[in-house]
């Protein structure tokens, strides 16, 4: 709009008066309490769980909810960010639990298998005097 052709309407209201505004005699102050802390997004934890083992895609689900929590935090929707953050935390807990339990289970099974094979006599006597020969005999015909 060009300023030269614009005319002010006759019934306009000015935004400010020429007199300085007076302070009101009575004022009310409402303390709303401290601002709520924004929720954590657990992004680093989710990345670690995604890259390590990632049993049943739990780490990936945690990563998705972490990114959603971060997006909602940036947008200012703290309630949705808190919900996504809570889901990301629980998926991370599940993924971390599986990431610890599965390798421990494999180690325990391996050790019990070795102990069992060490105590068995006969065709599976891998750890006896002729252990290597007994082991290789299983694969020969």
Model pLDDT for residues 64-98, shown as the tens digit of each residue: 999 999 999 999 899 999 999 999 999 999 999 98
pLDDT band at 120 (very low <50, low <70, confident <90, very high): low
DSSP label at residue 130: T
Structure pTM?
Answer: 0.57
Quote the number of domains for the chain: 1
Please indicate, yes or no, if residue 28 is contained in any of the structural domains.
no
Please indicate, yes or no, if residue 69 is contained in any of the structural domains.
yes
Please indicate, yes or no, if residue 13 is contained in any of the structural domains.
no
pLDDT at 26: 73
Q: What is the domain extent for residue 88?
A: 43-137
Please indicate, yes or no, if residue 18 is contained in any of the structural domains.
no
| Nearest C-alpha neighbor of 59 from the set 70, 47, 41 | 47
Please indicate, yes or no, if residue 99 is contained in any of the structural domains.
yes
Q: CB 44: neighbour CB atoms within 10 A?
A: 9
């Amino acid at each position: 709009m060009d300023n030269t052709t614009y005319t002010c309407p006759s019934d306009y209201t000015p935004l400010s008066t020429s007199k300085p505004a007076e302070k009101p005699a009575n004022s009310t102050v409402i303390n709303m309490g401290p601002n709520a802390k924004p929720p954590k997004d657990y992004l680093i934890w989710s990345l670690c769980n995604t890259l390590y083992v990632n049993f049943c895609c739990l780490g990936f689900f945690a990563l998705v909810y972490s990114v959603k929590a971060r997006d909602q935090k940036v947008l200012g929707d703290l309630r949705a960010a808190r919900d996504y953050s809570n889901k990301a935390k629980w998926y991370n807990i599940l993924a971390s639990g599986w990431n610890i339990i599965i390798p421990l289970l494999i180690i325990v099974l391996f050790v019990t298998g070795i102990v069992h094979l060490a105590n068995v006599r006969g065709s599976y006597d891998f750890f006896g005097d002729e252990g290597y020969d007994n082991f290789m005999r299983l694969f020969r015909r």
